[in-house]
Amino acid sequence: MADNVITFSVSLSAEEVLAIYRGEIRRVMVVSDTGLRIDINAQHFMNFTTRQGIHGRFRMVLDGNNRLVRMEKIG
């Protein structure tokens, strides 16, 4: 099956990122550019952490079974 590509924006404050590290936040709800609501394991965002939090545009690639293949920051 073909990969499915979903793009979306994320804006998480430094305090929210700390809550992810502490395990207080486990899921992040995003809305794709097409309006699809997606519940993502917060750990997938940890590679994109800065002192200001996690901010930007992202591309998520899913396999034919809707499993995450990779997540990339695109802007």
CATH number at 40 reads: 2.40.50
Question: CA-to-CA distance for 47 and 44, rounded, in angstroms?
Answer: 7
Q: Say yes or no to pLDDT of 1 above 60.
A: no
Amino acid 3: pLDDT: 78
Domain count, the chain: 1
Backbone angles phi, psi at 44, to 5 degrees: -65, -15
Global confidence as pTM: 0.88
Amino acid 2: pLDDT: 60
Which domain, by its residues, includes 62?
4-73
Question: For residue 35, what is the DSSP state?
Answer: S
Question: CA-to-CA distance for 60 and 71, rounded, in angstroms?
Answer: 4
pLDDT, tens only, 13-63 = 999 999 999 999 999 999 999 999 999 999 999 999 999 999 999 999 999
